């Protein structure tokens, strides 16, 4: 029997396992309607637990049990207990071998967890708790085992058979079947197990490690995609080199493999020696991938590769420690990307994700600390908080202890815990021991949810020539945490004089200082100033907090011009634009025609004209805050007014600066062959940003510009930018829009990854992406409701990317989404659960939307037999 109601499990209840599994020998016999899994486990009692554990309970889900043997003796059904999700066998000795044979049905596994089929290929996804869908096991990360895997399948259909480690033997059977045996010399938890069987092509290369060992690199895809693997391969080699140079980490096996699969719940998975990727995170060619996709492929290849140390060699003791590997690895890949591309832009992008999406999560019903204290379904905790805020927490440690100490701390951490399942506490302790810096108070970041707010006030005393900054901190209540202890927050600041120069803050003339904010309220005093400076606060986004300081609008314009910190320079513009748009929203709600503050329009003109400004940063500064960001910062969300106000400001900027934008567009004329190199990306992005503004103009020649760019585009970046400009314009005819959409379809209908963008561009378009249109796209031949990528593109694009259409009507958009969530919950709970996010924020919306969203949630909640995934999100949300 299944539990009537799913129950939460708690970090405080953690106990080491009663048994260890030293060796795991698996045999997979793969057939067209089932797979037979034989598992031989070398089990040993955990001696620390004494002798009072007379039985061993393994977990398993959706398994057909065929037989159970203990040390060569087959057990009768009376000798073991089979629960709905468990198998309990009697234990008579300290160490024994347990053989379990199960039958599973990969072909029917639509959850994409465990062993399943994607486009005719067998593949696995075991993190976090998918291995239990393959065989009975101690499916928990602190049980680490040496795996040997034999895969047997039809040779014609599945010529390629892969698993972790090195292939040590292979052979053929009569009847066209063949087998390969893989041995992974490193102990690993079951979540890092992987298997692949399919008709795949391979791209090969090699990498020579710092100690001179040659590693074979192999990327596998379906044959029609084999020409799109070069960028992933280049990225892999760069990652391997970078991890040696920056962290001293060398690769440890003879082979490193990546396999691209179309049906995948997440981005990618770091299985030891055999990473499995969502196709969209591997494949790239100038014709099919945008600059953003190129950078995403590079970042994800790096992320999964870096996990080989931060995740695999040192893994997590339990799933509450998920941020130990994810936060640290995101930090590592962010630094890698910053080194490979524009550091300034990377920081702005990451801060944007934090401030729009993560802050929203931290302010919503699912808020949790980066190390959660409880969960019902761990799959719901692969969140922006665990990943991105976790990364920011690691970054703060580096800021506090300094770069050199951080590296010493990371060396110590890897050294101390190599081959172990560790905790977040182990990581912090290593940093503390290596640096000698006390991080006791800093640990609150691991325990407390919510986004801290720092409130800054200042005072200048001309007679004493002293300037003081007072910083107070607070953190709003989050579910289960009404009051919080003060955080240790590193706040980087500079003080600008009236010319915009940063003043020296100490004897050695440093112009930036990191204030260690630890108290609820504290004052810093700076001596010898002749005038009141303008503070530049939280430079480089030195902590994941909100900053309250009463900047006048002219101060923000000043910072936009002069702040030497790229992030703060950008942030000043975002603050200004947000205030101006908020004014318009207020006006719209009162039925008034509020004026657009000319300071913003002028400031954008200055940015446009600034020839010194780095093009990549310039582009960021020309972007208005997204609707999601405006919603996050609103006290009460009025979605339609936000869309309207933002769109008016965009138009006003285009009208006011038409000539300048046009000129800039022309000077950035594209040239030569495509390359994903940073300076070229910057030019393309700036040029396409200009195109976006020009398409706001009611002017035939400007409208023609986007169509012309579409016709002449030499790469996917320019093609897609042109397509979006056309689709989102209110001045293009339906005929033109349809012509381009059909042309795109003709060219790319056979490319699944590119088709995702075709769906997404439409569903996320405020003008085109009506509910009716989205519904019609569901019927399109290229749509596939078993593909998480397609669902995310069409349903996610609509519900998370199209504020105007999703929230218009009388809750029909919510009802539509709810219907899909209910349907998908039976098929793929993880993907269904991710689609819930927009509805969970219902309490922040204006009353009419709020009530409709609540009703949609109530309807989901009333459905019998919800998955633990949906059950947890819906009950916490209501
Ligand atoms: N460890 C993977 C990564 O971040 C994420 C995989 C999680 N998968 C899942 N179905 N929850 O690289
Ligand atoms: Zn990861």
Report the CATH number that the domain containing residue 186 is assigned in CATH: 2.60.40.1730
∠ at Cα 388 (386, 389), nearest 5°?
70
Closest ligand, as measured to the CA of 141: 1
Query: Which residue has a Cα nearest atom 8 of ligand 1?
Result: 127
Look at residue 763 in the predicted model and tell me its pLDDT: 98
Minimum-distance ligand 1 atom for the alpha carbon of 382 = 11
Domain end position, chosen among 140, 168, 199? 199
Domain end position, chosen among 170, 199, 228? 199
Look at residue 295 in the predicted model and tell me its pLDDT: 98
421: enclosing H helix or E strand? strand 421-422
Ligand 1 and 148: CB distance under 6 A? no
Query: Which residue has a Cα nearest atom 2 of ligand 1?
Result: 269
On whether both 878 and 797 belong to a single domain, the answer is no
Ligand 1 and 388: CB distance under 6 A? no
Ligand 1 and 475: CB distance under 6 A? no
On whether both 877 and 818 belong to a single domain, the answer is yes
On whether both 176 and 138 belong to a single domain, the answer is yes
On whether both 323 and 364 belong to a single domain, the answer is yes
244: enclosing H helix or E strand? helix 230-247
User: Is 169 within the bounds of a domain?
Assistant: yes
On whether both 482 and 340 belong to a single domain, the answer is yes
On whether both 187 and 40 belong to a single domain, the answer is yes
At 313, which CATH number?
A: 1.10.390.10
Ligand 1 and 194: CB distance under 6 A? no
Query: Which residue has a Cα nearest atom 3 of ligand 1?
Result: 269
On whether both 771 and 877 belong to a single domain, the answer is no
- Spacing, Cα 84 to ligand 1 middle (Å): 26
For 27, other C-beta atoms within 10 Å of its C-beta total 17
Ligand 1 and 124: CB distance under 6 A? no
Look at residue 810 in the predicted model and tell me its pLDDT: 87
Ligand 1 and 128: CB distance under 6 A? yes
Q: What are phi and psi of 846, to 5 degrees?
A: -60, 160
- Spacing, Cα 269 to ligand 1 middle (Å): 6
User: Is 655 within the bounds of a domain?
Assistant: no
Is the peptide bond between 128 and the residue preceding it cis, with omega within 30 degrees of 0?
Answer: yes
User: Is 2 within the bounds of a domain?
Assistant: no
Instruction: Give SS3 for 848.
Output: helix
Question: Using a CB cutoff of 8 Å and minimum separation of 24, what contacts does 853-856 make?
Answer: 853/811, 853/814, 854/878, 855/811, 855/814, 856/811, 856/814, 856/815, 856/817, 856/818
How far apart CA 776 and CA 655 sit, in angstroms, is 35
On whether both 51 and 131 belong to a single domain, the answer is yes
Strands of 126-261, DSSP E: 146-154, 160-163, 166-172, 177-183, 195-198, 201-208, 214-221, 255-261
Closest ligand, as measured to the CA of 270: 1
- Spacing, Cα 439 to ligand 2 middle (Å): 25
User: Is 683 within the bounds of a domain?
Assistant: no
Residue 416 belongs to domain spanning = 309-539
Ligand 1 and 270: CB distance under 6 A? yes
| Residues designated catalytic | 304
Ligand 1 and 326: CB distance under 6 A? yes
H helical segments located in 668-811: 678-694, 700-712, 716-728, 734-748, 752-763, 771-778, 788-791, 797-801, 803-806
On whether both 33 and 65 belong to a single domain, the answer is yes
- How many structural domains does the chain have? 4
- Spacing, Cα 584 to ligand 1 middle (Å): 41
DSSP string covering 580-612: HHHHHHHHHHHT--PPPPHHHHHHHHHHHH-SS
- Spacing, Cα 709 to ligand 2 middle (Å): 37
User: Is 134 within the bounds of a domain?
Assistant: yes
Report yes or no: 37 and 114 within 8 Å, Cβ to Cβ.
no
- Spacing, Cα 425 to ligand 1 middle (Å): 22
Residue to probe by mutation, ligand 1, list 269, 272, 379, 384, most atoms within 8 Å of CB: 269
On whether both 844 and 790 belong to a single domain, the answer is no
Q: What are phi and psi of 514, to 5 degrees?
A: -100, 115
How far apart CA 762 and CA 759 sit, in angstroms, is 5
- Which portions of the chain are predicted below pLDDT 70? 1-4, 50-51
Domain end position, chosen among 539, 565, 586? 539
Cα of 652 vs its chain's centroid, Å:
34
On whether both 782 and 865 belong to a single domain, the answer is no
On whether both 504 and 443 belong to a single domain, the answer is yes
Which residues lie at CB < 5 A from ion ligand 2?
A: 326, 329
How far apart CA 389 and CA 477 sit, in angstroms, is 18
- Residue 216: strand pairing partners: 206, 255
Query: Which residue has a Cα nearest atom 7 of ligand 1?
Result: 127
Look at residue 1 in the predicted model and tell me its pLDDT: 40
Query: Which residue has a Cα nearest atom 11 of ligand 1?
Result: 379
Report yes or no: 515 and 494 within 8 Å, Cβ to Cβ.
no
User: Is 534 within the bounds of a domain?
Assistant: yes
């Amino acid at each position: 029997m299944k539990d009537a109601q799913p129950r939460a499990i708690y970090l405080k209840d953690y106990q080491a396992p009663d048994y260890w599994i030293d060796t795991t020998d698996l045999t997979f016999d793969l057939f067209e309607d089932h797979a037979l899994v034989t598992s031989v486990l070398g089990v040993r009692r955990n001696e620390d637990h004494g002798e009072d554990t007379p039985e061993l309970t393994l977990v398993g889900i959706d398994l057909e049990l065929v037989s159970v043997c203990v040390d060569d003796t087959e057990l009768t059904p009376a000798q073991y207990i089979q629960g709905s999700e468990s198998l309990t066998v009697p234990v008579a000795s300290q160490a024994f071998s347990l053989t379990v044979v199960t039958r599973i049905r990969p072909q029917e596994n639509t959850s994409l967890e465990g062993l399943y089929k994607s486009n005719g290929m067998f593949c696995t996804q075991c993190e976090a708790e998918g291995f239990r869908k393959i065989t009975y096991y101690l499916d928990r990360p602190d049980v680490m085992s040496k795996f040997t895997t034999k895969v047997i399948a039809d040779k014609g259909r599945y010529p390629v058979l892969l698993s972790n480690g090195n292939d040590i033997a292979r052979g053929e059977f009569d009847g066209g079947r063949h087998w390969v045996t893989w041995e992974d010399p490193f102990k690993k938890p079951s979540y890092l197990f992987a298997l692949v069987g399919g008709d795949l092509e391979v791209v090969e290369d090699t990498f020579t490690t710092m100690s001179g060992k040659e590693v074979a690199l192999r990327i596998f895809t379906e044959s029609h995609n084999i020409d799109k693997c070069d960028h992933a391969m280049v990225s892999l080699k760069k990652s391997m080199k970078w991890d040696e140079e920056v962290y001293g980490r060398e690769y440890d096996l003879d082979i490193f493999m990546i396999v691209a699969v179309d049906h995948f719940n997440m981005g990618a998975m770091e299985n030891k020696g055999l990473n499995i990727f969502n196709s969209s995170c591997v494949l790239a060619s100038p014709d099919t991938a945008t600059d953003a996709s190129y950078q995403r492929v590079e970042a994800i290849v790096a992320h999964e590769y870096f996990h080989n140390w931060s995740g695999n060699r040192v893994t997590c003791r339990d799933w509450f420690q998920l941020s130990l590997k994810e936060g640290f690895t995101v930090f590592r890949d962010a630094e890698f990307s910053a080194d490979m591309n524009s550091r300034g832009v990377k920081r702005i992008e990451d801060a944007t994700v934090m401030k729009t999406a993560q802050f929203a999560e931290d302010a919503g019903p699912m808020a949790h600390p980066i190390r959660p204290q409880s969960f019902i379904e761990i799959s719901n905790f692969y969140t922006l908080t665990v990943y991105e805020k976790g990364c920011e927490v690691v970054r703060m440690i580096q800021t506090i202890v300094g770069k050199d100490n951080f590296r010493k701390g990371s060396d110590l951490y890897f050294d101390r815990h190599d081959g172990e399942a560790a905790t977040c506490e182990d990581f912090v302790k290593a940093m503390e021991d290596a640096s000698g810096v006390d991080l006791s108070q800093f640990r609150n970041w691991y325990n407390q949810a919510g986004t801290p707010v720092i409130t800054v006030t200042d005072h200048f005393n001309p007679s004493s020539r002293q300037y003081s900054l007072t910083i107070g901190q607070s953190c709003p209540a989050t579910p289960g945490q009404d009051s919080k202890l003060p955080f240790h927050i590193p706040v980087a600041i500079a003080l600008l004089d009236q010319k915009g120069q940063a003043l020296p803050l100490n004897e050695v003339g440093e112009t930036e200082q990191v204030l260690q904010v630890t108290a609820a309220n504290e004052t810093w005093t700076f001596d010898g100033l002749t005038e009141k400076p303008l503070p530049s606060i939280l430079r480089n986004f030195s902590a994941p907090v909100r900053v309250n300081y009463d900047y006048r609008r002219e101060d923000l314009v000043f910072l936009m011009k002069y702040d030497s910190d790229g992030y703060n320079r950008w942030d000043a513009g975002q603050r200004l634009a947000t205030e101006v748009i908020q004014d318009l929203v207020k006006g719209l709600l009162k039925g008034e025609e509020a004026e657009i503050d000319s300071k913003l329009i002028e400031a954008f003109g200055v940015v446009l004209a600034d020839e010194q400004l780095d093009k990549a940063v310039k582009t960021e500064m020309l972007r208005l805050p997204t609707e999601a960001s405006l919603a996050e910062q609103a006290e009460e969300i009025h979605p339609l007014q936000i869309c309207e106000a933002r769109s008016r400001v965009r138009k006003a900027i285009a009208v006011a600066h038409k000539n300048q934008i046009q000129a800039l567009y022309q000077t950035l004329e594209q040239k030569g062959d495509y390359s994903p190199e940073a300076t070229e990306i910057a030019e393309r992005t700036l040029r396409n940003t200009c195109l976006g503004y020009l398409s706001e103009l009611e002017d035939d020649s400007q409208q023609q510009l986007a169509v012309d760019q579409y016709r002449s585009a030499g790469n996917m970046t320019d093609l897609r930018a042109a397509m979006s400009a056309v689709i989102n314009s209110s001045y293009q005819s339906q005929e033109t829009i349809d012509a381009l959409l059909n042309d795109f379809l003709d060219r790319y209908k056979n490319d699944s990854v590119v088709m995702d963008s075709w769906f997404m561009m439409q569903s996320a378009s405020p003008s085109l992406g009506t509910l009716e249109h989205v519904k019609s796209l569901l019927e399109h031949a290229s749509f596939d409701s078993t593909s998480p990528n397609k669902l995310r593109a069409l349903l996610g694009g609509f519900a998370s990317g199209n504020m105007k259409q999703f929230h218009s009507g009388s809750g029909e958009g919510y009802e539509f989404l709810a219907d899909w969530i209910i349907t998908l919950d039976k098929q793929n709970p993880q993907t269904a659960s991710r689609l819930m996010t927009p509805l969970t924020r219902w309490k922040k919306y204006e009353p009419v939307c709020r009530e409709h969203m609540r009703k949609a949630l109530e309807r989901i909640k009333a459905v019998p037999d919800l998955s633990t995934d949906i059950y947890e999100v819906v009950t916490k949300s209501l």
